[in-house]
Amino acid sequence: MSATTQSSLPASGPTRDLADYVADVGSLNPPPEVMERARVVVLDTIGAIVLGTIQPAGRIARQTQLSLAGAGSSYVFGTEQRSDVASAAFINAVQCHAHEVDDSHFASLTHPASTCLPAILACADGTMTAREALLALIAGYDVQCRVAASLDPRVLHDQGFMPLALCGVFGSAAVAAASLRLDGARTIDVLGLAGLQAAGTWACATDGTHMSKAFMSGFPARNGIVSALMARNGFRAPQQIFEGRDGMLSAFGKNSDPALLTKDLGSYFEIMGTSIKRHACGGPIRGAVDALLDIIKTHAVRPEQIARITVELAVSACVIVDSRDDSTINLQHVMSVAALDGVVGVAQHEPERVAAEDVRAMRGKVVLIRSEEFEKVWPTVRPARVTVTLADGVEHTSYVEHAVGSPANPLSWDQTYEKYSNTTKDVFTPADARRIADRVSSMETARDLDELLVDLARSSLDREASPGVAVPAAHGSVRAAETPLVVLQGVNKHFGATHALKDIDLEINRGEVVVVIGPSGSGKSTLCRTINRLETITSGTISIDGVPLPLEGKELNRLRSNIGMVFQSFNLFAHKTILENVMLAPTLVRHVSRKEAEARALELLAKVGVEDQARKMPAQLSGGQQQRAAIARALAMKPEVMLFDEPTSALDPEMINEVLDVMQALAASGMTMVVVTHEMGFARKAADRVVFMDEGRIVEEAAPEQFFSAPKTERARNFLSKVLHH
């Protein structure tokens, strides 16, 4: 089919104007505060995506979509497996909205970052500068939010349509068109194809898990990119998707205002109207949470004193948040945990917290009042009035017009960084978090997105077994007694231009303790992490008990459940007790009864010497105690092999021996172990075999007495001369 001709284009109108704006977005020169806002949005949204990599919705999206995806070079966060551009956008968008922590645009009632940024990250191919990526993000916001606002999102709600799902496809489409540098004619086709896919109802809020809401970001992000790719290749589409007789305004806009599509286009940027969430809950509730926390702090109110919590919100807000199945948009639940816990974070939406007796009791004290007065300014302004009535009859009231993080009361970069750090703390190390934030901060001057994407992919690997996702029981396998338990053959690993592992051949027998040593940067940790696919390999094969390690999916989860992993940074769940940390995987993955899991957990905690700490939170333990608890947690799954990645490197010197003693006892019990360490004393005492690495290669391997007394290679002799005599 021939390309679109100029004569076939609409001479004027909002579709043409929006298309031309997107096509020319590279020439925009927004004010510094707009570019700063764009960087804040990127940082906040990366935090949301990373959090989503360890949420059930994110894990299921990865497992499912990657099994269907085509080959490609786009990054999927949570795994190092890459995919085609549309699949990557879908997965990362689901992960972004897997919990209610991404941004919220007041006037449009959408979450534009969840559709726009995943599309940008998927489309980045090294030819788009980082500044161009920021401009594409700004354009995506302008299109998505204007479309939703022109249709009147309150009317869409009344009709049962979800504005994010219905209009998010236009944000993704605009981003993709800008990324592909399509001209105005092609961009009209992009918007036309996007409009043909506009769909989505508020039934998504009724599944009680937030998964359906996450899906409402995923499919628009994917479909917008598909629209751009189709249009680039000459696929024709409606030319007046907004104002045409059968266009969006006619089909969905019972109270539509076409002028809002282009009003102040290019001079007012919708990204300035978005809100960064301080609390992990739906946007309409956040002002009420601020008001309640203000009362609790100002008047030192304790939960047991509260007789009633009265909340006044706009009528439309009440419709969205009154007694919803999804806890993140259930006002009664959110206000209850705010009153009890003094915070509304991810932990407050875990099933056990939602079902807790104190939360259910407090929920019955929350009264919601629909305010016609507040309705007059909603959703652009979202006032909330909260009155706490105490048991003695005393009342305290707080009024919040602009919630913290809202456009009129925005979070600064430093405040956003604090939120981002908390959001990513179960995935990123502090160093990872700071390094990636620094890359975002300097985006406007960066050559492209490559370094950010590589760093983000490497740092966001899903390191834990899949809590909340049932894994089928393993089928039996025939094991030959002489077959090594772990086999690596011809394994290579590249991080961009860095060749981290070079032709690794290694066999680990059942019951053997292999200690891997070498200088920093030699590939030790990368080798260890490939064994359970925390790092994917570029070439070669890895087998566990004769079964090749797959890239993704249920079989990978099954094999991982037989591999225990202990990290240098403990990675305990900070909001759970030590006992709960150890019980979690057996109950959710192995389906062990809580009684059995608790008995096993206490036995293991006693084995590692921290049974008396079982009811405490991780922060109440020393580093050595936390690491011993982490070992117990790994053992709770009854693994066939244990991996230790520098387990003492984050500990104070006086705490190292207590961890090494536990590891030596474990080695003596016959556990198969791979230990990456700088502790030469442990290698001497506990290892059956020492593997010495340098520059990504296995230079030498031998029994410890032979290696330490008579190393064969000059490189090993030089290494030992430095570490044993200094």
- Write down the domain spans for the chain: 18-276, 285-400, 486-724
pLDDT band at 331 (very low <50, low <70, confident <90, very high): very high
Q: Percentage of residues in the chain with pLDDT exceeding 70? A: 94
What's the CA gap between 520 and 202, in Å, rounded? 52
Assess contact for 89 and 221: CB atoms under 8 A.
Answer: yes
Query: What is d(CA 73, CA 585) in angstroms, rounded to the nearest whole number?
Result: 33
Q: What is the DSSP letter of 279?
A: S
Measured distance CA(142)–CA(110) in Å, rounded: 12
- The mean pLDDT value for 619-648 works out to 89
pLDDT one-digit tens code per residue, 347-381: 899 889 999 999 999 999 999 999 999 999 998 89
Asked whether the predicted pLDDT for residue 663 surpasses 90, the reply is no
For residue 475, what pLDDT is reported? 27
pLDDT in tens, 172-181: 999 999 999 9
Cis amide bond preceding 383, omega within 30: no
Report helix, strand or coil for 494: strand
Task: State the average pLDDT over residues 635-648.
Answer: 88
Instruction: For residue range 685-723, list pLDDT tens digits in order.
Output: 888 999 999 999 999 999 998 899 889 999 999 999 888
Stretch among 249-263, 326-340, 548-562 having the lowest mean pLDDT: 548-562
Mean pLDDT across 506-530: 92
User: What's domain 18-276's architecture?
Assistant: Orthogonal Bundle (1.10)
Q: Quote the pLDDT of residue 451.
A: 85
> Does 473 have pLDDT greater than 70?
no
Q: What is the model's pLDDT at position 724?
A: 76
Name the 3-class secondary structure at 530: helix
pLDDT tens string 441-459: 999 888 889 889 988 988 8
Helix/strand number for the chain, H first, E second: 29, 18
Q: Is 574 helix (H, G, I), strand (E, B) or coil?
A: coil
* Phi, then psi, of 565 in degrees rounded to 5: -135, 130
Q: What percent of the chain has pLDDT over 90?
A: 67
Query: Band of the pLDDT at 463, cuts 50, 70, 90?
Result: low
pLDDT category, 587, cuts 50, 70, 90?
confident
E-assigned strands of 298-450?
Answer: 306-314, 366-371, 384-390, 395-400
Q: Among 500-514, 515-529, 668-682, where is mean pLDDT lowest? A: 668-682
Confidence at 725, pLDDT banded by 50, 70, 90 = low
Distance, in Å, from the CA atom of 288 to the CA atom of 275, rounded to the nearest integer, reads 15
CA distance 642 to 631: 9
User: In the structure encoding, which two tokens stand for residue 437, read together?
Assistant: 């934030």
pLDDT of residue 445: 86
| 3-state SS assignment for residue 643 | strand
Residue 673: strand pairing partners: 513, 642
Contact predicate 544/486, CB 8 Å: yes
pLDDT of residue 213: 94
pLDDT tens profile 125-139: 767 889 999 999 999
In sequence order, what DSSP letters do the residues of 68-117 get, joined into one string? HPPP--EE-TTSS-EE-HHHHHHHHHHHHTSSTTS-EETTTTB-HHHHHH
Architecture of domain 486-724: 3-Layer(aba) Sandwich (3.40)
What CATH number was assigned to the domain covering residues 285-400?
3.30.1330.120
On the 0-12 / 13-18 / 19+ scale of CB atoms within 10 A, 492 is middle
CA distances from 329 to 3, 178, 209, 383 (A): 46, 33, 11, 17
DSSP bridge partners of 332: none
For residue 247, what pLDDT is reported?
A: 94
User: Given the DSSP bridges, would you call strands 395-400 and 384-390 parallel, antiparallel or unpaired?
Assistant: antiparallel
Q: Summarize pLDDT for 389-426 with one digit per residue, the tens.
A: 999 999 999 999 999 999 999 999 999 999 999 899 88
pLDDT, tens digit, 9 for 90 and up, residues 60-119:
999 999 989 888 889 999 997 889 999 999 999 999 999 889 999 999 999 999 999 999
Q: CA-based angle 378:379:383, to the nearest 5?
A: 55
Cβ atoms of residues 548 and 541 within 8 Å:
yes
pLDDT in tens, 13-48: 999 999 999 999 999 999 999 999 999 999 999 999
Q: Does 6 score more than 50 pLDDT? A: no
Can you tell me the distance from the alpha carbon of 233 to that of 228, in angstroms, rounded to the nearest whole number? 9
Residue 249 phi, psi dihedral angles, 5° rounding:
-65, -35
pLDDT of residue 8: 54
- How sure is the predictor about 554, in pLDDT bands with cuts at 50, 70 and 90? low
Average pLDDT of every residue of the chain? 90
